[in-house]
Chain A
Amino acid sequence: MKRLIAVFPFAMAAMLAIAGTAYAQETTPEMVAAAAREGKVVWYTSVDVKVAEVVAKAFRAQYPTLDVDVERAGSERVFQRISQEYASAIHNVDVVNSSDASHFLYWKQQKWLAPHTPPDVIRFPAQFKDPEGYFATWRATLSVMGYNTKLVDAKDAPTGYMDLLDPKWKGKLVKSHPGYSGTSLTGTFAIVKLLGWDYLEKLSKQGVLQLQSTTATPKSIASGERVVMIDGNEYNMFIEIDAKSPVKIVYPKEGTPFVTSPSAIFAEAPHPNAARVFENFLFTAKIQQLTATEGGTRSLHPDVKDPPGRTPLSAIKLLPDDPATMLPQIADIKKRYTALFGN
């Protein structure tokens, strides 16, 4: 009988997990207590490490009995680590966030995800959540162009992708890598759809400094290492601008890739309750507003307001992401890109 009582909460949790597709799972005191017994949540994310630590700090403040391990790497690296770990039956990750939305389609196909709908997600627009509740867009960003305002005048700055082929930009460009960054992959795929590989081939002859992360390219132009950034996170540009770095965002006239970055819980999560508490926490209006204000990301939460001074999404010509089409082509995109730009 005692054993039955002990098992009961876990059985409940399991039932809720199965039934979770139908309704949202609130964070209950029981869930927090069970999470506290697990001690911590392991969060793999591709968001800039300082933004990630701001979120982690807020979580520790709200749930003093819980800790977060932040494992930050580029989306493609996060994907690679999870794949390699799961191939060796290592179940380390609880909650994952990647800026390559196709990863979530793949993980769902592999049946690696647990269905869970945070209460706030009910009110998210339908295109930003999985119909079966396996994932939802935690944050979105744009893969923008940008330049250093000390090194180039506004009137000479590029206005779109085609401008970058001008010989005057030779040796002045920096780009992130689709083999590392999900934002870069999504953005590069959008550019290929729009302008073709032909364009990237010409671009590769412009002496482009090849960095890895879309969090790195804004820092590169802010330091003055390069003049113009071909792709980078809009949110890192906001962070740089807030820190008074001499950079300016360019929304390319051909269109700006819109990159959704979902979050999900793994079915084999070693800390299932902590994972659910954390996932719910990530989607609350408070945290959505925090990452928008301090982290510069775009939120799809209906209660979140863009901080003043930021161009509203409605005023930007967007190139929406298309993870389902991209998924089967990823290996090919990376291979062709690497042949042009290196690893």
Chain B
Amino acid sequence: MKIAPSKARGAPPRPLAARARSFDPTAPLSLAFVLLLATLVLLPMFWLVVTSFRDDAGRITLDHYWQFFTDASFLKPLFTTLWTSATVGALCVAVAAPMGWLVARTDLPAKRLLRILILASFVTPPFLGAFAWVLLGGPNAGLINQWYYGLFGLKAFEAAPLLNIFSAGGMVFVMILYTFPYVFTFVANALDLVPGELEEASAMLGVPPWRTALDVTLPLVTPALLAGFLVAFLQSMTLFGTPAILALPAGIDTMTTKIWSLFQFPPRLGLAAAVSLPLLAITVVLLKAQSTIMGRRGYAVIGGKSSGTRLLRLGAWKLPALVLFAFVLGCSIVLPYGVLLRTAFVKNWSGPMGFENLTLENWRFVFFEFSQTRLALQNTFELGLAAATVGTALVAVVAYLSVRRAVWGHRLLAFLATAPVAIPGIVLAVGLFLSYTHPPLVLYGTLAIIFLAYVTKELPVGYQQLGAALKAVHPELEDASRIFGATRMRALVDITAPLIREGMVTTWILIFIGSIRELSATILLFTARTKTVSVTMFDLRESNDWGPIAVLSITMLVTTFALVSLIDRFTRRRIA
């Protein structure tokens, strides 16, 4: 019925059309969201830059940078950070590339289970892994070393330990365990896109499978490997918990622990800002490199998803292949979860598992006596709810505006929503601290400042999720409804929103999971009243209270996995 007026609006007299379009509420909305995101993302960065050039009296100075680049106590952590992150990146590729290939191209058994376990190590908070590995790989009391000593009749302190987790090498090892899934995903996805015909041709010409893998498949996925390397490098560079738990006891600093130590009283904010900016610069450069590599894709064969790739028969190689998976997943999931579970139920974590060592005391203490527990759980939960809800709503609008390219500023919105990817958590925290500890807006000491950190940090994740979901909904559906006279808002609410509901739920849960495990930004922003579970665990670590730490770890893991399986169920029901 309403076709006529609608057509009239679109008909020749253009000024009228322009005027009609100017009534579109999405234009001012877009401007408002550009400003909002700019405040979220750019204000902390602005204060970071300004503070790094200012001395205590407010004069312009280069002293902070001078100190950074001349003082060995800063250069050494920088050097440590660079070489350990590069090692993590390289080893992640070395481990995860074969794993990705095995899953995508061979008849490896139990693939679904393996993928689930890889997902599990992906969602395990890295600092939980580090806690667990202290209990496993401490040089003398660590359970693995105890077994090792026992097995060979050696004595702790006399023989060298099998592994010493309190070292740069130990830190690299644990970082790999929770970073390799990124590379695995890159490789597995790339292989899904590379048609198998080339490899089959190579096989038909009588080339042995391993030569085919090296000479044909490897070059095809090189961009994915490089990108995986860079992402792994970035991930490990920005971690705070793992180095603080494993490297600090050996007297080794990384950039993140160094920034954190600059916040000890009296805080040296100018220096902290000056030390943060190079970290930011490195991330920006690496991400640029990654997008160049992924964007170029100079290998023309990567096209649509290939179907029916013939799976390579592993035969006798099945065993070594499974050993590789068993080792990596054993180290990242089975052993750490096992040791946390064990520690939660014993009095002395390094003692034998006898009956007299069993106890429920840790659970009683954490849930009935420790006054921090309730506050921390409540704060964490509130922050997760708020960040996930507001974050999803924000990202939904931003993704819609930018993906539909409907309005002015859509490019800017896309940029601002993805920019936080380049901001390491601790650097964001320094920026937020500098922005909101002075008027006009004093947020330090409230949950609001931590909430801002979480929303900002999770923007890119959410944007990626919902952006992809929106791209899958063809605009012609909306166009159709608009032709029938619906306003853009109405089209959005009635047509698009229901279609991306699944994406919204996934986004919500991802932001929630990301928030409840956050440590590197929270560590600078919390106060006694605004503590979270992650920070509480970090405090307990400083006094070696492993029993309560294990109880809180298990609580956190159970919550996370419940939510992940919720995503799984939700998405599967939609498909079915």
Q: Which residues of A contact B (CB under 8 A)?
A: 42, 44, 48-50, 53, 56-57, 68-74, 76-77, 79-81, 83-85, 87-90, 92-93, 151, 171-172, 179-180, 208-213, 215-216, 219-220, 222-227, 243, 245, 331, 338-339, 341-343
Contacts and interface: CB of A to CB of B under 8 A. Distances in A.
Given A80-B264, A88-B442, A172-B157, A213 B140 contact: no
B543 interface: yes
Given A72-B539, A213-B542, 15 more contacts: A49-B370, A53-B370, A81-B527, A85-B445, A87-B437, A88-B437, A215-B543, A223-B141, A224-B141, A224-B156, A225-B138, A226-B140, A338-B73, A341-B251, A343-B257
Contact of B372 (A70, A76, A227, A338): A70
B543 A49 contact: yes
A42 B546 CA distance: 25
B528 interface: yes
16 contacts: A42-B528, A49-B543, A70-B372, A71-B372, A74-B543, A80-B263, A80-B265, A81-B527, A171-B139, A215-B544, A216-B543, A219-B544, A219-B546, A220-B544, A223-B350, A225-B350
B347 A243 contact: yes
Contacts of B157: 151, 171-172, 227
B348 A245 contact: yes
A45 to B, nearest CB: 11
Contacts of B375: 69
Contacts of A226: 140
B572 to A, nearest CB: 43
Contacts of B540: 49
B253 interface: yes
Interface string B310-329: 00000000000000000000
Contacts of B139: 171, 225
A68 B369 CA distance: 11
B369 A92 contact: no
B529 interface: yes
Given A80-B265, A83-B265, A69 B371 contact: yes
A112 to B, nearest CB: 14
B115 to A, nearest CB: 36
A210 B544 contact: no
Contacts of A215: 543-544
The residue among B369, B539, B544 with the most chain A CB atoms within 10 A of its own CB is B544
Nearest to B244: A343
Given A71-B372, A210-B251, A225-B138, A90 B527 contact: yes
B528 A88 contact: no
Interface residues of B, number: 47
Interface string B251-293: 1110001100101111100000000000000000000000000
B257 A73 contact: no
Contacts of A76: 264-265
Contacts of B186: none
Contacts of A85: 445, 527-528
Given A211-B544, A216-B543, A224-B350, A93 B141 contact: no
A88 B445 contact: yes
Interface string B353-377: 0000000000001000111100100
B543 A223 contact: no
A309 B465 CA distance: 64
A44 B444 CA distance: 19
B73 A71 contact: no
Contacts of B141: 223-225
A252 B253 CA distance: 31
A306 to B, nearest CB: 24
B136 to A, nearest CB: 12
Given A49-B543, A151-B156, A339-B73, A179 B527 contact: no
Nearest to A46: B543
A72 B444 CA distance: 20
Contacts of B123: none
Interface in B516-555: 527-529, 539-540, 542-546
Contact of A209 (B250, B266, B545): B250
Given A209-B250, A342-B250, A68 B371 contact: yes
A19 to B, nearest CB: 31
A74 B541 CA distance: 11
Contact of B248 (A90, A210, A213): A210
Which 5 residue pairs of A and B lie closest in terms of their CB atoms, listed nearest first?
A342-B251, A80-B265, A216-B544, A90-B445, A212-B542
Contacts of B252: 342
Nearest to A335: B73
A89 B157 CA distance: 50
Contacts of A71: 372, 528
B166 interface: yes
Interface in B168-218: none
